[in-house]
Structure 1
Amino acid sequence: MSTGTPENKNRATAAAILPLVGGADNVTSVAHCMTRLRLGLRDRSLVQDDALKAVPAVMGVVEDDTYQIVLGPGTVARVAPEFEALVEEGRSASAGAPTAEQLAAEGAALRAAQKARNATPFKLFLRRIANIFVPLIPALIGCGIIAGLNGLLVNLGWLPAVTPALASIASGFMALIAVFVGFNTAKEFGGTPILGGAVAAIIVFPGVAKIDAFGQTLSPGQGGVLGALGAAVLAVHVEKWCRRWVPESLDVLVTPTLTVLLSGLVTIFGLMFVAGEVSTAIGTGANWLLDHTGAFAGLVLGGFFLPLVMLGLHQALIPIHTTLIEQQGFTVLLPILAMAGAGQVGCAAAVFLRLKNNHSLRDTIKSALPAGILGVGEPLIYGVSLPLGRPFVTACAGGAAGGAFVGLFSMLGDKVGSTAIGPSGWALFPLLQGSRGLGTTAAIYAGGLLVGYAVGFLATYSFGFTRTMLAELNAPATGQAADPEQPGDPVAV
């Protein structure tokens, strides 16, 4: 089937996915993040997993509180609106039909069980944190790349008339990020978004420099995104309290006024100081950790990041990254965590060489490896290493080695950071910034990637398969001759 224009291609992908997730009436919500199409479904049993994974644009699927289809960066942002449009068209076409109600009744027990498994308080909290910060990532990436370009031009002494403009473009969003965090927080917690943004704006207002709190003069931006998050949550609670007690005839005047006034006073005379102390502690703690235990810290962070991603616990790091970027201009944690992807790439290369007769898996690796090199790891995780088991562990070993390499240089005074969150792998190079020159920073990061590739490859090649696994996975398909070049050397059990 010809896809024609890119728009037709994206619509064709959406059209291929929709019937495989149970059709329009089975979809309750549509959203997307950097790489995944996230669907709320009435009846999970209607999803055809195997057929969905066979769709060319689909890199893998993940089931959590939502059903997540991995499409990759760029693609998902184009497919999602097409998918949403098809869902709306499907619902309009079937208006009045009882299909949705029937599906809802049949899937009620399944949905309840799924929510019970995933709705732990901690996981729900982390999902809310992700919902607040993930929408900010495109702006962080764009401004981060512009900041890196500006820094390069300044160091080279090029275009001095242009660099102030680039600095303004790159810094404008970060100067007001607290407002966006407040807006998204209020929206996520069920309040009026603009009121959350209004209260959070107090934190970055220059006039707070005239206010004394806790014996010290406040400074604009004190408390950063953590203060903005706390201020917006407080505003939501005040607003909900007002809705219960304020007469409807006065609600439009009284509720917004009390929400901003009460929340604003607490923010100025409490939250900004407390959040400022916490933010300072995060920055100091991260620097101390890498200055004194860099190699070990890098080994632990790089080695355990893939399991954290599998459990969804990596979302807890988003506010920490953002706080470090606010304070220091870059986050020193992301380049170390990115080494987990390098271990994954090395692991996939070893699997490709080991399983010369498994053409299906080799085809998956060939299609997913370029994305993995650029930092999109889901296709390799869910399509290769995780289903195989042991290679997932050896991929983690590669990440640990790469993380230890980058962490070691942090101990030696050569910190490597990223001016934004989101990308990793080779896609992180435009965002790199550190305590030394750009050349040194890029060289250390590249060295960490190479170490991750090498250790992930060697660990997987040597220890990634038992004899039984290798024999079963490498057996030629019926009617297919074995590859004469398949090595017959023993494999560690």
Structure 2
Amino acid sequence: MADNAKIASTVIKEIGGKENVTNAWHCVTRLRFNLKDRKLAQVDAIKDIPGVMGAQFSGDQFQVIIGNTVGDVFEEVENVLGGTGSASGSTEKESIVSKLMDIISGIFTPILPALAGTGLIKGLLALALTLHWTTATAGWYQVLYMISDSVFYFLPFFVAVSATRKFKTSEYLGLSVAGVLLYPTMVNAYNAISAGKKVAAITLFSGVNVPYVNYTSSVIPIILGVWFLAIVQRWVKKWMPDAITMMFTPMVTLVIVVPVTLLVFGPLGTYAGNGLAVGISWLFTHAGPVAGLVLGATFPLIVMTGMHYAFVPIVVNNFKVLGYDATIFPINFVTNMAQAGSAFAVAIRSKNAATKQLATSSGISALLGITEPAMYGINLKKKKPFYAALAAGGIAGAFVTFFAVKAFAMAGLTGLTALPVFISAKTPMNIVWLAIGITMSFVLSFIFTLVLGFEDDVVAAPSATKPVKKVAAADKTTVGGATILAPVQGTLEPLSSVADDTFAQGIMGKGAAIIPEDGEIVAPISGKVTVLPDSKHAVGITGDDGTELLVHVGIDTVELGGKFFTAAVKAGDHVTAGQKLLSFDLKQIKEKGYDPTVMIIVTNSNDFTDVLPMNESGVIYPKEQLLVAIK
């Protein structure tokens, strides 16, 4: 797998070091940074880092697109930073819109896994009820329903934690504010009033009554409350004596913040959220297919900026006020299927084996709701498939809006696994219209891509792909390129078959895989050893001809910490092809449950016209021709 620590340290270095980072977090596919000085970020250098799919500024936020392994890389980023940021502010003035989008994204992206997991359970429960597999009174149903509803019901607590981190204030004070909003006195009073009962008022400041508002599942009130908390706490700390600040700063802060939140920010946030939900619903009800067409055709462009997470509070608020979302979720679903359709069309039409492989794997990823590999790796790169996806997404967006397709719970990744959240016993046709919409989107984008065509990658001459068995000279070139030799004895496998998406999707570069039969790795090319981690599970070599090669032994074997590996060289050594690099205990690695597959990757594949295997399958021996990198 990719060396996440190296990716993280290199990214931090190229964005100006940890001193230039004011905040860092991640979403499903990308690292997100606030920087003091954006001019220090070396965008092109970051794009060239193995394991990085792309990098860009979106407003005042710098994003590094990683893909499915972003969580692992972010753990290493936090290790480098020593937290989620090392400074308190930016040296550059941020626009109000950029700052708002940055705040929303930073607050909601950490919560998404919890919302996604519980939302999917709720969707599956709806499916179980619809198919009469269970009843609402069954014990297991009630337990699972509590699980599915818990995050949404107590959402102010979750938002409080991420908001305090974003506003850089005390998490526990933020939770205290949320606790007041959801205190039984408030909840019970609201429920009683809703049932037509009279409830005694809570009066403050000689006649000002506290409004009884339903804060369950709310987001805007607690965000405003925590924002105010951060301001008040910093103000109190400035004048509170150090000897008593630990006790009295929290006390004074809460005594100020909670009443203001109950009287001002809570009701204001609730009314604003209700108005927003009703307004968007009105727009889609009256503008209908036109609104769906516009949003469907432009949603991938919003995803490219990384600002699609700014829609999350709108969606959450729709669920609270309306009980469903008939805007963002359905349209996001069909646009994801459009990206998948275009990618699969490229896989069908392309004559290039590597392109077929990447298009297929990224198309599957898009079907599951992660579209960045398809967008950046295939569709956007070839342009016309991306245009086809935009057109298909717009048409399908108009369709699902016309039939008012609704999502009844959060689902996180909007892909095929999210289908259950669109199921409702009360509106059984909802899932049918969605199924037609996503099928339409996939098929139209597929057809549009085939009709529009695209510029295919150059395919090497047949002579370059003929198997050549034994090679005596390590520096031998073929068709103006470099020959890469097998580093180990074993059975050839296509790189796309390995159980690690970073390698299988070609994110790190093109190459081949070998299931080893012994435990000795030799140099595939002559050059300088540039990478040799302490775990000794991988070796990077920069060839004398400029070829950059990575030999990676096993999947997740970095976790062994060097156990069962012995290096025969060190970083900085010059090696010749066929020279022993390292040895490993194949038996022990297997017994520990690790996949020992050896990956051989040309990490600067973009510098070559193509990187092709000399054979697709069969037994291979050390120093046999494995790959040819064609100039």
TM-score by length of structure 2 reads: 0.61
Gapped regions of structure 2 (runs ≥ 5): 83-89, 190-199, 466-631
Q: Distance in 2 between matches of 1:216 and 1:246?
A: 29
Change (3 A) 1:193 1:157: same
Q: 1:280 aligns with which of 274, 277, 280?
A: 274
Task: Letter of the 1:76 partner, please give it.
Answer: V
Aligned to 2:115: 140
8 Å contact 1:207–1:220 — kept in the other structure? Answer: no
Query: Is 2:328 the counterpart of 1:341?
Result: no
Report the Cα offset of residue 370 of structure 1. Answer: 0.8
Report the Cα offset of residue 480 of structure 1. Answer: 7.0
Report the Cα offset of residue 475 of structure 1. Answer: 4.5
2:221 match: secondary structure? helix
Task: Letter of the 1:448 partner, please give it.
Answer: G
Task: Letter of the 1:432 partner, please give it.
Answer: F
Aligned to 1:101: none
8 Å contact 1:344–1:398 — kept in the other structure? Answer: no
Query: Is 2:44 the counterpart of 1:62?
Result: no
Change (3 A) 1:317 1:211: farther
Aligned to 1:476: 459
2:244 match: secondary structure? helix
Change (3 A) 1:480 1:368: farther
Q: Which one scores higher on RCO, CA 8 angstroms, separation ≥ 6?
A: 1
Q: 1:199 aligns with which of 162, 177, 186?
A: 177
2:213 match: secondary structure? coil
Query: Is 2:325 the counterpart of 1:331?
Result: yes
Report the Cα offset of residue 325 of structure 1. Answer: 2.4
Q: 1:444 aligns with which of 433, 436, 441?
A: 433
8 Å contact 2:121–2:148 — kept in the other structure? Answer: yes
2:243 match: secondary structure? helix
Task: Letter of the 1:169 partner, please give it.
Answer: I
Report the Cα offset of residue 229 of structure 1. Answer: 0.6
Q: Distance in 2 between matches of 1:149 and 1:194?
A: 34
Deviation string 1:372-429 (CA, Å, 9 cap, x unpaired) is 111110001111222233432321111111111111111xxxx421411521121211
Query: Is 2:299 the counterpart of 1:299?
Result: no
Report the Cα offset of residue 279 of structure 1. Answer: 1.7
Aligned length: 428
Gapped regions of structure 1 (runs ≥ 5): 1-8, 90-111, 483-493
8 Å contact 1:373–1:425 — kept in the other structure? Answer: yes
**Equivalence map 1:154-303=2 (5 Å):** 154-155=129-130, 156=132, 158=134, 160-208=138-186, 209=189, 211=201, 217-221=211-215, 224-303=218-297
Which 10-residue stretch deviates more, 24-33 or 305-314? 24-33
Report the Cα offset of residue 434 of structure 1. Answer: 4.9
8 Å contact 1:27–1:39 — kept in the other structure? Answer: no
Task: Letter of the 1:129 partner, please give it.
Answer: I
**Equivalence map 1:4-153=2 (5 Å):** 9=1, 12-14=2-4, 17=7, 21=11, 28=18, 31-38=25-32, 44-45=41-42, 48=45, 52-53=49-50, 55=51, 60-64=53-57, 65-72=61-68, 75-81=69-75, 119-153=94-128
8 Å contact 1:298–1:407 — kept in the other structure? Answer: yes
Q: Distance in 1 between matches of 2:77 and 2:217?
A: 40
Between the aligned residues of both structures, percent identity stands at: 26
Query: Is 2:406 the counterpart of 1:416?
Result: yes
Deviation string 1:352-380 (CA, Å, 9 cap, x unpaired) is 344x3344433321221110111110001
Q: Distance in 1 between matches of 2:415 and 2:117?
A: 17
8 Å contact 1:38–1:68 — kept in the other structure? Answer: yes
Change (3 A) 1:481 1:399: farther
2:219 match: secondary structure? helix
Aligned to 1:108: none
Change (3 A) 1:15 1:131: closer
Q: Distance in 1 between matches of 2:81 and 2:105?
A: 26
Aligned to 1:6: none
Report the Cα offset of residue 188 of structure 1. Answer: 0.9
Deviation string 1:246-297 (CA, Å, 9 cap, x unpaired) is 2223322332122212211111112222222112112222332333332222
Deviation string 1:51-96 (CA, Å, 9 cap, x unpaired) is 535x5xx6x2233344524231xx43345436766x599xxxxxxx
Change (3 A) 1:241 1:163: same
8 Å contact 2:291–2:398 — kept in the other structure? Answer: yes
Task: Letter of the 2:360 partner, please give it.
Answer: K
Q: Pairwise CA RMSD of aligned residues?
A: 3.4
Change (3 A) 1:480 1:304: farther
Higher strand share: 2
Query: Is 2:417 the counterpart of 1:427?
Result: yes
Deviation string 1:147-196 (CA, Å, 9 cap, x unpaired) is 22333334416261221222222222222111221222122112112112
Which 10-residue stretch deviates more, 445-454 or 359-368? 359-368
Aligned to 2:451: 462
TM-score by length of structure 1 reads: 0.76
Deviation string 1:280-323 (CA, Å, 9 cap, x unpaired) is 11222233233333222211221111111222332321211111
Task: Letter of the 1:340 partner, please give it.
Answer: T
Report the Cα offset of residue 36 of structure 1. Answer: 2.8
1:417 match: secondary structure? coil
2:28 match: secondary structure? coil
Aligned to 1:489: none
8 Å contact 1:40–1:66 — kept in the other structure? Answer: yes
Aligned to 1:384: 378
8 Å contact 2:396–2:437 — kept in the other structure? Answer: yes
Which 10-residue stretch deviates more, 345-354 or 258-267? 345-354
Aligned to 1:109: none
8 Å contact 2:67–2:372 — kept in the other structure? Answer: no
